[in-house]
């Protein structure tokens, strides 16, 4: 069903379109004047942000998150692959009964997409797609620019409301635009929700975890503490290496949506691949 237009996607696109129109033709025009230097500058910046948001959102909706090749087979004798994920019960190599194939590390079966997804983070109803190895970065970049656009619009909303209220007091008039109320009712919760989501995924990237691995790690940590052991996430390579593994080796392209994805999604570097003497702290 990936790429199909669903109600959540229509809601997202409608919200983007409404906020774009309101920000330009109500907030900027009502406060700064759309054709002033300040108005044109803000309109240009916000239009660029909106274009990036729509583009990255479209790619996140359409891009395949990454599936397991039919030819994949785990090689337990591969000396370069230091971690082999196994089933919690029995200790066998992870095998998907529904897909009838072995699962590479960090791969999980999505019951909605009805397939195994490489480095699966979660299934997102707002893009009608899984967030996985191939589209995780574009999803993150979409959220990042979405937060910036929302904050920009929020600043313009506060300034425009203050300007309108000041004019109403001077003119003893009740011309407060109801569009401000509707815009605030949409913009405020959206800004909060996207900011929380961005903060969550920044945390996950810094730890080199997926949402699924975070919850699995909490359980593993509790079990380890019961027997006196210390749990260590096997894919945590240190902050910089974690960032590189998700966003790419070129720091100047970390927030560029068109960079190449790192790795095949079938094998990942682990903390056990790094000598203790050089392991980043």
Task: Say which of 99, 110, 116, 124 is annotated catalytic.
Answer: 124
The closest of 105, 102, 124 to 113, measured between CA atoms, is 124
Neighbours of 230 (CB within 10 A): 7
Long-range interactions of 106-111: CB distance < 8 A, separation 24+: 106/133, 106/210, 106/213, 106/235, 106/265, 106/268, 107/68, 107/265, 108/212
Q: Are 138 and 64 in contact (CB under 8 A)?
A: no
Q: Are 261 and 137 in contact (CB under 8 A)?
A: yes
**Mode of pairing for the β-strands spanning 115-117 and 108-110:** antiparallel
Helices and strands, number each (H, E), in the chain? 7, 6
Alpha carbon distances (Å) from 25 to 45, 84, 184: 14, 56, 15
Q: Is 124 a catalytic residue?
A: yes
139 SS3 class:
helix
Q: Report, as residue numbers or ranges, the catalytic residues.
A: 124
């Amino acid at each position: 069903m990936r790429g199909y237009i669903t109600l959540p996607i229509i809601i997202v696109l409608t919200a983007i379109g409404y906020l774009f129109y309101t920000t330009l033709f109500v907030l900027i025009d009502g406060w700064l004047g759309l054709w002033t230097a300040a108005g044109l500058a803000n309109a240009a910046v916000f239009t660029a942000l909106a274009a990036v948001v729509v583009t990255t959102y479209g790619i996140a909706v359409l891009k395949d998150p990454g599936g397991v090749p039919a030819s994949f087979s785990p090689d337990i004798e591969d000396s370069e692959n230091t971690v082999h994920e196994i089933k919690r019960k029995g200790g066998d190599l992870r095998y998907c009964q529904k897909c009838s194939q072995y699962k590479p590390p960090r791969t999980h079966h999505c019951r909605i997409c009805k397939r195994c997804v490489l480095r699966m983070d979660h299934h997102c109803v707002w893009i009608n797609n899984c967030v996985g190895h191939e589209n995780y970065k574009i999803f993150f970049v979409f959220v990042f620019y979405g937060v910036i656009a929302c904050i920009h619009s929020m600043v313009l909303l506060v300034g425009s409301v203050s300007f309108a209220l000041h004019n109403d007091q001077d003119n003893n008039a009740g011309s407060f635009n109801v569009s401000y109320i509707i815009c605030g009712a949409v913009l405020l919760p959206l800004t909060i929700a996207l900011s929380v989501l961005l903060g969550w995924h920044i945390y996950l990237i810094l730890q080199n975890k997926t949402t699924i691995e975070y919850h699995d790690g909490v359980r593993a940590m509790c079990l380890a503490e019961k027997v006196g052991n210390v749990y260590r996430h096997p894919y945590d390579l240190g902050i910089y290496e974690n960032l590189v593994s998700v966003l790419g080796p070129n720091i100047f392209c970390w927030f560029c949506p068109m960079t190449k994805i790192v790795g095949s999604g079938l094998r990942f570097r682990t903390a056990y691949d790094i000598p203790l003497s050089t392991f980043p702290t």
